[in-house]
């Protein structure tokens, strides 16, 4: 069915279609915040779970308390993803969303593409999820990866395209870790 230009729905429909097709627009941040207005603390906590500081701490705890070999492999994967993420950011040089869009207290540095949190969490949590034999652990980690990536959009420090690209690179590197 074709929508007429004088239809009352036309401006809203065309606005949605235009912005939903673009992955580098404030539309997605504004949409998430309008749907989840009180979720800032949840998304800040999720974002922390994807930070390199948190991932290094988890690897260190795993090294001393769980499995040294697995922790060493995970540390190597984290190093590879950190270097590749930095290299991609300085090569692509995609600017972050304007700082006026960032939630108060949220900071970010460097360029935006790919999202380091999305990439690192996909590599580490994805690799651990693929290595585990328990489906509930894999399912939980997949949800954690999803929420970490979306948190970066909600917080306003990444475009949706940055996160999607980070997930893609992270999935490739997690697969590399399995082959290795």
For residue 98, give every residue at least 6 positions away whose Cβ sits within 8 Å of its Cβ, in sequence order, or none: none
pTM for this model (two decimals): 0.80
17-51 exposure pattern, b = at least 16 Cβ within 10 A, e = fewer: eeeeeeebbbbbbebbbeeeeebbeebeebbebbe
Peptide bond into 114 cis (omega under 30): yes
CA pair distance 59, 54, nearest whole angstrom: 9
- Main-chain phi, psi angles of 39, to 5 degrees: -95, 10
Distance, in Å, from the CA atom of 35 to the CA atom of 175, rounded to the nearest integer, reads: 34
| CB-based burial, 56-67: b 16+ in 10 Å, e otherwise | eebbeebbeeee
Asked if 158 contacts 103 with a C-beta cutoff of 8 angstroms, the reply is no
Please tell me the distance from the alpha carbon of residue 154 to that of residue 148, in angstroms, as a whole number.
10
Q: Where are the domains of the chain?
A: 10-179
What distance in Å separates the CA atoms of residue 97 and residue 155, rounded to the nearest whole number? Answer: 10
CA dihedral (106, 112, 117, 118) positive or negative? positive
Joined together, the tokens standing for residue 48 give 């922390």
Q: Which two tokens stand for residue 69?
A: 């070999």
From first to last of its 180 residues, what are the pLDDT tens digits of the chain?
A: 444 444 444 444 444 444 545 777 777 888 888 888 888 899 999 999 888 899 999 999 989 988 888 889 889 989 999 999 999 998 988 888 888 888 888 888 888 888 999 999 999 998 888 887 788 988 999 999 999 999 998 898 998 888 998 999 898 888 776 655
Helices (H), 22-159: 27-35, 40-49, 52-65, 68-92, 116-131, 135-155
Joined tokens for residue 90: 């300085």
């Amino acid at each position: 069915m074709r929508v007429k230009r004088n239809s009352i729905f036309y401006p809203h429909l065309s606005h949605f279609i235009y912005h939903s097709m673009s992955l580098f627009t404030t539309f997605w941040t504004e949409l998430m915040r309008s749907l989840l207005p009180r979720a800032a603390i949840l998304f800040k906590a999720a974002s922390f779970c994807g930070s390199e500081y948190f991932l290094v701490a988890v690897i260190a705890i795993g090294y001393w308390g769980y499995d040294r070999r697995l922790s060493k492999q995970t540390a190597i994967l984290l190093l590879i993803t950190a270097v590749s993420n930095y290299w991609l950011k300085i090569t692509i040089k995609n600017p972050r969303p304007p700082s006026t869009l960032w939630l108060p207290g949220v900071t970010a540095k460097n360029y935006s593409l790919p999202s380091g949190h999305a990439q690192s969490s996909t590599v580490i949590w994805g690799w651990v999820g693929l290595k585990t034999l328990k489906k509930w652990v894999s399912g939980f980690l997949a949800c954690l990866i999803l929420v970490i990536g979306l948190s970066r959009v909600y917080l306003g420090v990444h475009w949706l395209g940055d996160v999607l690209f980070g997930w893609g690179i992270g999935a490739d590197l997690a697969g590399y870790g399995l082959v290795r």
